[in-house]
Amino acid sequence: MPGRVVVITSGKGGVGKTTTTANLGAGLALEGYRVCLIDADIGLRNLDVVMGLENRIVYDLVDVVEGRARLRQALIHDKRVENLYLLPAAQTREKDAVNPEQMKELTAALAEEFDFVLVDSPAGIEHGFRNAVAGADEALVVTTPEVAAVRDADRIIGMLEARDLRNPRLIINRIRTDMVRRGDMMDIDDIIEILAIELLGVIPDDEAVIVATNRGEPVVLQSRGRCAEAYRNLVDRFLGKDVPIVALDGHSKLLERLRSWMALGRRPVSG
Amino acid sequence: MFDLRRWGARTGGSKDAAKDRLRLVLMYDRKALSPELLNRIKDEMVGVISKYMEIDEEGVQVDLDQNQDQAMLVANVPVRQVRRGAGGVSR
């Protein structure tokens, strides 16, 4: 049975698509699945640096599509995790170097070899987006709790559904519990109510992600930390396990538990 | 009475503004996404109004407008003639 091709998209740039792709991919590979990540952002490749694999690129996606390299040659193996591979984007080419038909063929070929093929979509709704969704079986939409990001997510959801990618699932990134508590940031429930789609996971805003990205290591590979935990929960939910959205906070967990106990009926944030 | 839920969970912060603005902007965006829906509304309105008056179907315009704090469905329906007996209470 071929693997699942999943596009990670958002509309707005800078909300964490690439980081989400890297961590979901690494997390799935940790669980023993064969995973291939595709950077579909041709001309602005980033997934390689987020993964820390930038020095190992020989061939890229466009080389494969144009027949200069075989698929196998272009795939970079992430040595930290068994069965995790990256197909990098071309950096010196334009977005129209690849068309949706070619992307479909490419993802279909990869789905024969891998359990999951994760496609990191570029921002925007133009050519690059159409390429990224071309071969996808399902879609994940990343947003942050900001007006502009949620608005773009809504637009993307509409475009995905128009392309028959029904029921995309939402990942809320960079939520800040302290601001939610003050009433200065939209809560999970607010965003879900507005977008009316299924929630897959919530990732807290945490310096650990920036530190990990500086080092080129997906944060999910760390053994502890609330972000690593949040990503592992995301992976579990993606795999169909029933994991509740748990409270994780910068404050002590005891305080958090006390707070959520006192605020009965309010869903705790993040996790 | 002291409401425990209020403790540590204040409302009335800027998130309410974010939500309200989003709701409005999305109403407009979503409308922009589906002109078919507006056309369907238009067709059904033409059907209803035509029972009572003769209208210029070609000239009918239905649009979603937005002002400061409200979205408004605006319909322009050019009327040619009111049908005889349209004012009657029952038929």
Instruction: Determine which of B5, B10, B11, B22 to mutate to test the interface with A (most A C-beta atoms within 10 Å).
Output: B22
Distance CA A229, CA B43 (A): 53
Q: B15 vs A190: CB contact, 8 Å cut-off?
A: yes
Residues of A in contact with B13 (CB under 8 A): 182-184
CB-defined contacts A:B, below 8 A: 60
Residues of A in contact with B11 (CB under 8 A): 183
Indicate if the pLDDT at residue A270 is higher than 70. Answer: no
Residues of A in contact with B16 (CB under 8 A): 183
Closest residue on chain B to A150 (Cα): B22
Q: B9 vs A183: CB contact, 8 Å cut-off?
A: yes
Nearest by CB to B10, from A183, A259, A265: name it. A183
Indicate if the pLDDT at residue B61 is higher than 80. Answer: yes
Instruction: Work out the average pLDDT over A33-48.
Output: 97
Cα–Cα nearest to A235, from A14, A9, A10, A32: A32
Q: What angle do CA A118, A119, A125 make, to 5 degrees?
A: 145
Please tell me the predicted confidence (pLDDT) of residue A75.
Answer: 98
Q: What is the ipTM of this complex?
A: 0.79
> Lowest-pLDDT range, A13-17, A23-27, B35-39, B86-90?
B86-90
Indicate if the pLDDT at residue A256 is higher than 90. Answer: no
> Lowest-pLDDT range, A32-36, A97-101, A161-165?
A161-165
Please tell me the predicted confidence (pLDDT) of residue A63.
Answer: 97
B16-45 burial: b if 16+ Cβ within 10 Å, else e: eebbeebebbbeeeebebeeeebeeebeeb
Instruction: Work out the average pLDDT over A14-25.
Output: 98
Confidence of residue A271 (pLDDT cuts 50, 70, 90): low
Q: A183 vs B12: CB contact, 8 Å cut-off?
A: yes
Nearest by CB to B8, from A185, A194, A259: name it. A259
Instruction: Work out the average pLDDT over B68-72.
Output: 68
Interface of A with B (CB under 8 A): 146-147, 150-151, 154-155, 158, 180-187, 190, 194, 259, 262-266
* Residue bearing the bigger pLDDT, A95 or A92: A92
> Residue A59 contacts by C-beta under 8 Å, 6 or more apart in sequence?
A68, A69, A73, A74
- Please list the residues that pair with A157 across neighbouring strands: none
Instruction: Work out the average pLDDT over A17-43.
Output: 97
Distances (CA, A) of B29 to A113, A127, A238, B38: 40, 21, 29, 13
Q: B18 vs A147: CB contact, 8 Å cut-off?
A: yes
Please tell me the predicted confidence (pLDDT) of residue B91.
Answer: 45
User: Which pair of structure tokens corresponds to residue A264?
Assistant: 């009965």
Interface of B with A (CB under 8 A): 4-5, 7-16, 18-19, 21-23, 25-26, 29-30, 33
3-class SS letters over chain A: CCCEEEEEECCCCCCCHHHHHHHHHHHHHHCCCCEEEEECCCCCCCHHHHHCCHHHCCCCHHHHHCCCCCHHHHCEECCCCCCEEEECCCCCCCHHHCCHHHHHHHHHHHHHHCCEEEEECCCCCCHHHHHHHHCCCEEEEEECCCHHHHHHHHHHHHHHHHCCCCCCEEEEEEECHHHHHHCCCCCHHHHHHHHCCEEEEEEECCHHHHHHHHHCCCHHHCCCCHHHHHHHHHHHHHCCCCCCCCCCCCCCHHHHHHHHHHCCCCCCCCC
Cα–Cα nearest to A217, from A44, A55, A36, A23: A23
Indicate if the pLDDT at residue B36 is higher than 90. Answer: no
> Residue A102 contacts by C-beta under 8 Å, 6 or more apart in sequence?
A65
Distance CA A8, CA A89 (A): 15
Indicate if the pLDDT at residue A14 is higher than 90. Answer: yes
Confidence of residue A182 (pLDDT cuts 50, 70, 90): very high
pTM surpassing 0.80? no
Indicate if the pLDDT at residue A55 is higher than 70. Answer: yes
Indicate if the pLDDT at residue B87 is higher than 90. Answer: no
Domain ranges of chain A: 4-201
* Residue bearing the bigger pLDDT, A223 or B36: A223
Instruction: Work out the average pLDDT over A217-239.
Output: 96
Average pLDDT, chain A: 92
Instruction: Determine which of B23, B26, B36, B66 to mutate to test the interface with A (most A C-beta atoms within 10 Å).
Output: B26
Cα–Cα nearest to A165, from A139, A140, A142, A141: A139
Cα–Cα nearest to A127, from A229, A242, A44: A44
Q: B19 vs A194: CB contact, 8 Å cut-off?
A: yes
Indicate if the pLDDT at residue A91 is higher than 80. Answer: yes
Q: What phi, psi does B11 have (nearest 5°)?
A: -115, 175
Residues of B in contact with A187 (CB under 8 A): 15
* Fold of the domain built from segment(s) A4-201: Rossmann fold (3.40.50)
Instruction: Work out the average pLDDT over A106-130.
Output: 96
